[in-house]
Amino acid sequence: MSAVTTAPGEGRIDSMAAKATGEGRIGLRANARHISALVRRNALQIKQDPESMFDAVLMPIIFILLFVYVFGGAIAGKGRLEDYVNYVTPGLMAMMGINIAMAVGTGVNDDSKKGVMDRFRTMPIARSSVLIAKIVVEIGRMLVATTILLGMGFLLGLEIKTSVVDLLAAVGLSVVFGASLMWIFILLGLTMKTAQAVQGIAMLVLMPLQFGSSIFAPPTTMPDWLKTFTDYNPLSNLADAARNLVNGGPVAHSVWMTLGWAAAITVVTAPLAVARFRKRS
């Protein structure tokens, strides 16, 4: 029996994959094992390159300080920054998901250029398991960013006016929507030629969605055409749902709209991303 030197985690993937004879015959149990092994591999990569966590750690600190102290006084009024903290922090939870999701696309594109994806495509594992493992690890990074954001929010005066359960529901809703967006960026990462192209397209789409929403300011003062856009913007639904879960208020409509958007995005883009990944083999 010959010994083979592999990267951390890849030997385990190979041994498990050898039991399968083709992607179409891989059962759910085997697929779950493949995803688990790939998650471990991706987590080891982060451990070996801790700088890859800088965006998840520093981004929430910079954003909340920037928006609270630049816009807080103008929107909430002088001496009422705590009110704006309670307004903007739940909205920024949605923004964390977007920015982490964008990083998935650039990461997939970089892996493709380095030949990592080619290595995975030669193995008898489900193509979806490679992409799902990426999403699982990025959800972990999203939770780290959200935890730091909430910690900063509490330091600046954030007050939970409902309950811890409602706060956790707001976090969960943000994670679900953020995970759905990751499929879009994975598709972009597999389609665009460079990581810069992925970032460029993402910014062109995300900037209007972020600032044309209720994340940073109430839409009541916006012109009618922009207010209409804001009302149908899925980021507004997510921000409103998270905000009402934290501060109290009606949540049913916003929650169901957010879940509906997340489901629709996933149903449309996940199969396209997997098909694109398979096509490149």
Residue 202 falls within a domain, yes or no?
Answer: yes
Per-residue pLDDT of the chain (281 residues; tens, 9 = 90+): 444 344 444 444 444 433 433 444 566 777 777 778 778 877 887 788 777 788 888 999 999 998 898 888 777 767 678 889 999 999 898 888 888 888 888 888 877 776 666 666 666 566 678 888 889 989 999 999 999 999 999 999 999 999 999 999 999 999 999 999 999 999 988 888 888 888 888 888 888 888 889 898 888 888 989 889 998 899 999 999 999 999 988 999 999 999 999 999 999 999 998 888 877 65
Residue 126 falls inside a structural domain: yes
Query: What is the domain extent for residue 64?
Result: 10-15+23-279
1 within some domain? no
Q: Which of 151, 143, 176, 162 is nearest to 251 (CA)?
A: 162
The count of structural domains within the chain is: 1
Measured distance CA(27)–CA(50) in Å, rounded: 34
C-alpha distances in Å from residue 37, one per residue of 20, 28, 121: 15, 14, 15
